[in-house]
Structures are given as structure tokens and as C-alpha cells.
A = this chain, B = another copy of it.
């Protein structure tokens, strides 16, 4: 659904080739919002051209031929229509780290491994922040009022994550706590179920 409009949006910024679009999508804020592969781009461009939303122009630059895509009148209208259409609430974002954390208590795993996961995440997020700062400082990047707001959003989210990680690791370095609420004694049952399953096997 969204890939189509991502493409239209990129072209609206600056007419370019399919190859350029991938590079464009990997820069700045867009890189945090989309993941475009050639396998998605080219077939979609073909389709968009058939629908009359974009048109191409063969260009020869520095001995290289490429197809530069530009929006048609219908393309501009479709982009505007999409923009004004109420955006859907984002789908649950699958996050392996959070998912693992949720189930950490049940598998009797080592707490230090979880702390390691958290630290690794923090380091990666710090790198992303660095990258964004660098990109923003880059003199050639195009940033308008809206782009800056998006950038602020992403930064805020990353910074919130990083400070949460500090909090979480601090707590996990302390002694394990019993479940805060467990009316059905699930925690106790879990241990019993797990031991039973593992023991049964060793004795067979």
C-alpha cells in the first residue's frame, strides 16, 4: 500500500531514477520509515507508469542512460489525495528485543544475557542518532519545516528509548523480583511445567 505513495513522494521532492530512489530512501528521516528494495521499486514504477501517475524521460548523463521519473497531473493529484486521507494508526511494530523481554521470565534464562541485549540496542540507537545528526549537519540535505518535525520525532523516540534502557539495565543489575501480580500462580506453575518437561526427557 504505502510503497506506492512513498515512491510518489520521493519523485515529488525531486525527479529521479529507480536507482536514485533507493538511495534517497536510505537517507535521512526516510530511512527510518521505509525499506525499499529494487525488487519493489521497478515493478511498481512500471505499474505507476501504466496507470498514468508518472512519466519517464530517457536521460543521458555522463555517458550513463537512466530513466528519470516525473509526476503527471494525475500523479500530483493522487499524492495530494493520499496526503489528506486520514492516516491509519500504525500497526503493532514487532520488536524482537521487547518480545524477548516479555517472555524472559518464563524460560529461566540468564539475566545478564538480557542486559547484554539492552546494551547492544542502546549502542545501535546511539549510532542512529549520530547518523541523523551528521545528516542534518550536511550542507546539501534538503530539510523543510515538515521534515524537521519528523526528524525531531525520530530523535525524541530514540532518546526516550535510550533513557529507558538505562533505567531497565539498572533494575536488571539488581536482584530478581517476584512477579508483581500473579493471581493464578503462573510463575510457580511455569517452573514446574518446565522442569517436568525437561526431566521427563532425561529419564527416558
A interface list, Cβ under 8 A from B: 2, 5-6, 9, 12-15, 29-35, 70-73, 75-77, 79-80, 82-84, 86-110, 113-114, 116-117, 120-121, 124, 139-150, 152-154, 156-157, 160-161, 164, 167-168, 171, 176-184, 186-187, 189-190, 193-194, 197-198, 200-201
Instruction: Decide if A198 touches B5 in the complex (CB within 8 Å).
Output: no
Closest-CB distance, A171 to chain B (whole angstroms) = 7
**Given A33-B92, A201-B73, CB of A9 within 8 Å of CB of B148:** no
Asked if A99 contacts B190 (CB within 8 A), the reply is: no
Chain B residue numbers with a CB within 8 Å of A70 are: 193, 197
The smallest beta-carbon distance between A57 and chain B, in angstroms, is 12
